[in-house]
Amino acid sequence: MKRAAVAVSVCFAMAPSVAFAFDWSIKASETETVELNSNQYLRNSPAGSVGSYTTLNADAQARTPTSKFNVVADGTYRKYWGPGAAGTASEFLNYGFKTRYEVQEKNKFDREYVEASWRQQSTSLALLNELGVTLPVSGFINRLTASGGIDRSITAIDTVSLLATSTRTTYEPSSGGLPFTDTLARGNWRRSLNSVTAINLSSEYQLLEYGNTFNTQVQIFREQAGFDATLSPLLSFRANAGAVYIVTDRGVSSSTFGGVTSAIPVSSTAADWIGDAVLTYRMLKSTTLSLTVSKSVGPSIVGSLFKRDSITASLIHNLNSRSTLSFSTSANRQISSTTTDFASASATYSYNLTREWLTSLTYRYLHRFASTGGATIIDPVTGTPTVSGTGPADSHSLMFVATHNWTVLPSGN
């Protein structure tokens, strides 16, 4: 919390010196959500619960003809009631701050930016959102992130993007989890072959440094190539594919994705292929169909490594200028020390009451298949669970959301 206070103080200290150069505006929003769920935590013995979520968000933005400065703050409070919430934490808090400064150059593709953020959330909430794991733990996860990047149009048809970011994750109290640092550097080159098609090449390096007894390090190398094509005003397609290579130094198991725990540090390597593809088809003037396929390898919010395969299909239909009906279905596989499959389907009706008030009603069905392929559900490096259970489970939920957006300070100040 002290780091966040310092960051906010610095931002406000800077404000007077640039007040006459920037055009300031401030926007805010409040979202209230009520959820009825038959099995919120996907337990083998389901029981119903009621959840209430409140989210507040404020965005202060300052502009000049060539630059933009943002300060964003948000917070969410969650509360659960009912037999489905018994035996686990029923209250969760998640809040944070983010600042970003961006400079635009000769056109919209040329820019430089720096960004810093700090976020604190309940450890229980982080595990629930990321892994579907529920544990009777207390305390918080703190994430401090610094990023910077450059986008450049080096020719009329070539664009280069560079990104560097680093996140430090710690716990309050310190015994709540394993601290680690996640640093990533990425380079991307895009060439437009014509008005319809472009090719993309990307190279990425990620370093995970864990604060355990062995000071374990995991290096992840990703190399991908792909293309995107606007085949017609109604149809577009994007795809990337490549390889991932993982090197584990001073690890505590014989495999990056689990294995037999060792009392002495061990090293290992692993390789796989990764990729993603997105197909977007505007079937009708008011109806859009999207299909997304993805295969990735990377760390969770608590640092445990996962391989994830997913496929998602969504259909959005604008009923009129105020209301929208959307459908989505997905299937994904999560692989760590065990393999767990999930399937879900949802339907959402959204309605804009006014320019400031938005509402939606969502039904969602989620099924978890029985886990396979491993005898343990604990990640050997971080010591955290990787799945919420080994047996099949499903849930039905009905969620009502109301959002109020308003302008605190309009632009032109």
Could you give the C-alpha distances from 294 to 43, 125, 365, 386, in angstroms and in order?
27, 25, 21, 20
Cα 252 from chain centre: 28
Closest by CA to 304, choosing from 145, 180, 144, is 180
Rounded Cα gap, residues 374 and 359, in angstroms: 43
Written as six digits, the tokens of 172 are 């309050």
Summarize pLDDT for 264-292 with one digit per residue, the tens: 778 889 999 999 999 999 999 999 999 99
- The torsion angles phi and psi of 181, rounded to 5 degrees, stand at -120, 130
State the fold for domain 2-409.
Porin (2.40.160)
Closest by CA to 413, choosing from 38, 63, 156, is 63
Could you give the C-alpha distances from 408 to 57, 74, 98, 405, in angstroms and in order?
12, 15, 19, 10
Cα 235 from chain centre: 27
Written as six digits, the tokens of 65 are 């003809």
Largest CA distance in the chain: 64
pTM greater than the 0.85 cutoff: yes
Q: pLDDT tens, position by position, for the chain (413 residues)?
A: 444 444 444 444 444 444 446 799 999 999 999 999 999 888 888 899 999 999 999 999 999 988 999 999 999 999 999 998 887 778 888 999 999 999 998 777 799 999 999 999 988 888 877 776 667 677 899 999 999 999 999 998 999 999 999 999 999 998 888 999 999 999 999 999 999 999 999 999 999 999 988 899 999 999 999 999 999 999 999 999 999 999 999 887 644 444 445 567 788 899 999 999 999 999 999 999 999 999 999 999 889 898 999 999 999 999 999 999 999 999 999 888 788 899 999 999 999 999 999 999 999 999 989 888 765 567 778 877 777 667 888 999 999 999 999 999 898 76
Q: Partners of 369 in the beta sheet?
A: none
Closest by CA to 186, choosing from 201, 200, 204, is 204
In sign, the C-alpha dihedral spanning 354, 355, 357, 359 is: positive
Q: Under a CB-based contact definition with an 8 Å cutoff, are residues 47 and 80 in contact? A: no
Rounded Cα gap, residues 278 and 294, in angstroms: 9
Q: Under a CB-based contact definition with an 8 Å cutoff, are residues 59 and 69 in contact? A: no
Rounded Cα gap, residues 408 and 403, in angstroms: 16
Rounded Cα gap, residues 93 and 138, in angstroms: 11
How many CB atoms are located within 10 Å of the residue 387 CB? Answer: 20
Tokens 């919430």, residue located: 85
Mean pLDDT of the chain: 88
Instruction: Give me the residue spans of the domains in the chain.
Output: 2-409
